[in-house]
Structure 1
Amino acid sequence: MRDLDLTTLRLFVAVCETGNMARAGEQANIVGSAISKRLAQLENQLGTPLLIRKRHGVVPTVAGQTVLEHARAMLDGAARIERDMASHNAGAHGQVRVFASVSTMTEFMANDVAAFLKMPSHRTIQVDLEERLSPDVVAGVRDGMASIGVCWDAVDLGVLQSLPYCSDHLCVVVPESHPLTGRRSVRFGETLDYEHVSLPINSALQLMYQRAAARVGRTLVHRIVVSNFEVALHVIAADLAIGLIPKEVAARSTASRGLCMVPLDEPWAERRFVMCMRDEKALSPAAQKLVEHLAQTGRRRSVPA
């Protein structure tokens, strides 16, 4: 098979997104007939129809949906190369792409990376920091989309290497008027009498909660699903639900929001986070410096004051 042409793939994506070759042509400043010819050549090259022609436009076939997904990834990769080289030419001599889980982004990563970049010796380093769910962090590093991943160590890392980073402690956050307020601790099963605010159901944390609920023969009831802990705290403050939140996050605003933290009495309440990579020795010098900084910062944080 000949190499796939990025211009053709870009046009294919545009056609799928607009559902119309003429509109895609207007966006790309190319006539619809030229797009049609290119896409016919792409179908011939791949050996399968990619589009279904309808009266008022086109839709991708099942094979077309698969190509669309890969095309978007390839175009995104090409855009990243262009952006990284532009940064390099502008003086950023080291680029490091990091995928981090929601928890670590909220609690530690942003501040730790900012401290790293403020060091004079790192002024020519650029860090691209993106928030992902823990399973997506692992997949991104495995597939080469990021040099470093930071995620919960309960996630299956597969063949990836890992180093310790930091840890947090889950607690139950409730409004001051809630029946659990004032308890010295609470078991997870006791929280299942109440509706929860939850992170996305495919996140590692929510999957663990569902398994823990199943072990005690109960079901975790989601009142509302949110994208991060900060929004979860707003929901709890509105007395819509309770939530399991890292105390490192909740402690910053519970008093001002009229919330209470109750320690969670479970062996899994302490979560450990790791940095993962395909091969530590193969990391770029900039990525190695960042890993060393994060490891040192994590060790200092774990030492009791």
Structure 2
Amino acid sequence: MWHIDPISLRLFIAVCEEGTIARASEREFIAPSAVSKRIADIEADLGVPMLRRSKRGVTPTPAGQVLLRHARQLMRSMERLQGEISEYAEGARGQVKVLANISSIMEFLPESLSSFMTLHENIRVDIEERFSFDVVRGILEGQADIGICRKTMARGELEFIPYRHDHLSLVVNARHPLANRTSVTLGETLDYEHIGHSAFATLNSFMQNTAQELGRELRIRAHVPSFDAAYRMVQAGTAQTILPREAVSRYAELFGLRIIPLTDPWARGEFVICVRDQDALSPSARRLLNHLLAEIPSQE
């Protein structure tokens, strides 16, 4: 019978996530030979290869994928156990991991997390940026406690809790022909070139679909990796862009931007919080979830 070793499970997870034993050893501050020995012991105990090895690194075998899924769940359970016990021993302390998409990080999440950590000084919150579909997958695989993503990605066997909204707008500089408009449809912007967003796949799809329905072409002058890069290119007059009003408003004066609301039906975006099971959250994660929901502005 295989005796579960938490250290070996943690190292196995690291190897699968990093893709090489060398990178996993650096991440976990342990010698590569020791990592290899732990993996070899797991394979010997279970009698089946867990990793597929090649010159480019390692990937989990089908059996390894099963072990990886359960190992993540076990490690999260052990973290929750430790957190809950510490709640009784030392008061409110613990650690919560959050996966969030770029929009939520740019628009509202840092303020909410800061106010939470001010109230709970002994609770550590780690946040990792992901695409919305990766947020859902990460929570499903037990990589984090709480996820924040677009409602359009709310699929699978998770709990999805309605969270916040944002509102897409056309962003131009003061010299743009549409700069003095008070509202606009996407169709009215198609005479001019756009800046696309490599990290905002959902928006790109909506824009492409809308343009096709109108029998028009969406002309993308450039794709940028960040909102800040888009602001700078709009400021320089390279092209226009579509972004959430909530993400742009605090930078509008700095970059000389005009924000013109879109009136298309899909311009109102929705966020959800996703968790595997609310009842199974650690006390610290439950506190954070409640805090996030309590901070939703009343107008939403």
TM-score by length of 2: 0.74
**Paired residue secondary structure (1:204):** helix
Is the contact made by 2:72 and 2:141 (CA closer than 8 Å) also made in structure 1?
no
**Paired residue secondary structure (1:158):** coil
How well do the aligned residues superpose, as a CA RMSD in angstroms?
4.0
C-alpha change, 1:241 and 1:12, in structure 2 (3 Å) is: closer
Counterparts of 1:1-305 in structure 2 under 5 Å? 28=31, 46=48, 50-51=52-53, 58-59=55-56, 64-66=58-60, 93-119=93-119, 122-200=120-198, 203-300=201-298, 302=299
Question: 1:135-155: CA deviations, max 9, x gaps?
Answer: 111111111111111122122
**Is the deviation greater in 205-214 or in 272-281?**
205-214
**Paired residue secondary structure (1:126):** strand
Q: Deviation at 1:285?
A: 1.3
Question: 1:59-96: CA deviations, max 9, x gaps?
Answer: 45xxx5455x969999999999999979x799983211
Alpha-carbon distance in structure 1 between the residues aligned to 2:105 and 2:244: 12
Alpha-carbon distance in structure 2 between the residues aligned to 1:73 and 1:210: 36
> What corresponds to 1:22 in structure 2?
none
C-alpha change, 1:13 and 1:46, in structure 2 (3 Å) is: farther
Is the contact made by 1:171 and 1:261 (CA closer than 8 Å) also made in structure 2?
yes
C-alpha change, 1:76 and 1:297, in structure 2 (3 Å) is: same
Question: 1:136-190: CA deviations, max 9, x gaps?
Answer: 1111111111111112212233222122222111110012111111122211122
Bigger CA radius of gyration: 1
Alpha-carbon distance in structure 1 between the residues aligned to 2:154 and 2:31: 42
Any stretches of 5+ residues in structure 2 without a counterpart?
23-29
Question: 1:21-47: CA deviations, max 9, x gaps?
Answer: xxxxxx94759xx99xx69x88x9656
C-alpha change, 1:241 and 1:287, in structure 2 (3 Å) is: same
Alpha-carbon distance in structure 1 between the residues aligned to 2:194 and 2:69: 35
Is the contact made by 1:192 and 1:221 (CA closer than 8 Å) also made in structure 2?
yes
| Residue type of the alignment partner of 2:257 | L
Is the contact made by 2:51 and 2:59 (CA closer than 8 Å) also made in structure 1?
no
